[in-house]
Structure 1
């Protein structure tokens, strides 16, 4: 299988945590499900495509954006789902309206290195879509991605290595006592009784300088690659 290296830039981005409601908290890097969704959207895939991902990168700072979110409910229903965000949105007159402020955490000047390993045909489809100039986003729809570079790369196995950038690393690759922020990231879901049941992957979010004493991969740029499975 081929491995595609993507060097991406986003001026701003919010990779919202699933249970963040009153405050839109963001992950420090896009979770695997978000990256997978970007790839699927890029090639217009409507079924799940098996792939392996490695996600690492940096951002300059975090700032807080103030937004107004609008809620509505039908007169015959007690439900109050979120349906609109932003300002100056036309709302049907028969709906009862309320609104609330929402603070959204956003990352500024995000630089990502993402490795995608998949069947050769899938990698070629991704490259074709990129070369056609298709617009893509990562996170929210407004978080546009600039593809600085893309290239299929050869990987070589090494016995150990040291992280150069913040990265998601599967827990089983981290040494006991190593400092990291634990996350259980969504990957893909199945529908069980009309409810999404997510497969989650346990990772540690680490900073540069973390020693890895397990067999891992290195690409042609001497960047470590931490596939999620």
Structure 2
């Protein structure tokens, strides 16, 4: 079986686990979707090229990197900085500082415990809030008046002959009140959208807080790519376009990229010391490959991951297909199979297991 072997080094990287926010945790190795996406990108592919991947390697240490995260909230609250977006209808993040909270008990509307940065815009913000309170008050009063009037008319028609003129006149008045209410609410909504909702939506709160990245340091990776011949050639020809893996700042050094012939075997082969890998969980369950403990005995469990591999577009969004993998730092196989082969790199015996 001919495959493409890629050997990489990284000084540091974060292969982020989805769902981690304040502390952006990392997988111990890049996941299939990260590798596949990077390879598609360097080749300029716009459509998916099917491929299976073996991912193994190691890292020297893990550390945390702190940074300040600036979050633009979709609402306004009495914390952080009150700003007015310069281009709310564009993708621009430019903004004008209006005021900044200097204490936990800050209040932008009452100007309590804040530092004013733009008095004119702060007054505009306050006037919008006052307008909203006035509109809400007028709406409540008007609806209550109409409700009361409709109830009085409904009470009057009780006991009347439904065929009488008086009953019909009361029904007509009630219907007219409903029409008046609908028109009032429609006009109010239009006025509110133009004079409050649209201008108020330009105001946001910006908050800063410390966040963390888990970083793997001094990373060594060996990737085996199984795909059609042309795809492998494309990757080989474009491999030096690969600048990073993980985050955009997680730069890579390409040590080797070459087509190799994987070997069959029919005796026990153990993974080289110090290398970890993602094992194909189905192969593990079918005992085509074994996870070993520190004494070299077969381990029945390990760290199981549901990893993103490839995706399709559903309703305009990416829907990832997940594969189950077992993360192992010591593994073996008794003989080769469809997804389990042998490769040699320098003095390393590499058990290659595709997922």
Match of 2:232 among 115, 123, 141: 123
CA deviations on 1:194-224 (whole Å, 9 max, x unpaired) are 443221111110013x233463201243311
Instruction: Using the TM superposition, give the Cα deviation of residue 92 of structure 1 relative to its aligned residue in structure 2, in angstroms.
Output: 2.6
**Structure 2: 5+ residue stretches without partners:** 77-92, 97-201, 285-289, 291-297
Q: Does 1:152 align with 2:259?
A: yes
Output the CA distance in 2 between the equivalents of 1:191 and 1:125.
24
- State the partner residue of 2:137: none
On the 8 A contact 2:9/2:254 being kept in 1, the answer is yes
Pairwise CA RMSD: 2.0
**What is the TM-score normalised by the length of structure 1?**
0.85
Q: Would you say the 8 A contact 2:306–2:324 is kept in 1?
A: yes
Note the C-alpha offset of 1:147: 0.2
Structure 2: distance between partners of 1:213 and 1:185: 26
C-alpha distance after superposition, 1:160-194 (max 9, x if no partner): 42122100001122247434211010011223334
Q: Highest Rg: 1 or 2?
A: 2
Displacement after TM superposition at 1:51 (Å): 0.8
Counterparts of 2:54 and 2:332, CA distance in 1: 17
The alignment status of 1:207 with 2:317, answered yes or no, reads: no
Q: Could you say if the C-alpha distance between residues 135 and 171 of structure 1 is closer, same or farther in structure 2, counting changes exceeding 3 Å?
A: closer
CA contact (8 A) 1:179 1:206 kept: no
Q: Do the aligned residues in 1 keep the contact of 2:23 with 2:213 (CA within 8 Å)?
A: yes
Question: Cα distance, 1:74 vs. partner?
Answer: 4.8
For residue 243 of structure 2, the aligned residue among 115, 136, 140 is: 136
Query: Does the CA-based 8 Å contact 2:8-2:220 persist in structure 1?
Result: yes
CA separation in 2, counterparts of 1:169 and 1:29? 12
User: What is the match of residue 350 of structure 2?
Assistant: 223
- TM-score normalised according to structure 2 size: 0.56
> Match of 2:176?
none
CA distance in 1, matches of 2:226, 2:27: 23
Residues in 2 aligned to 1:150 and 1:193: alpha-carbon distance in whole angstroms = 37
- Number of residue-to-residue matches in the alignment: 212
SS at match of 2:325: strand
Q: Is the 8 A contact 1:14 1:105 kept in 2?
A: yes
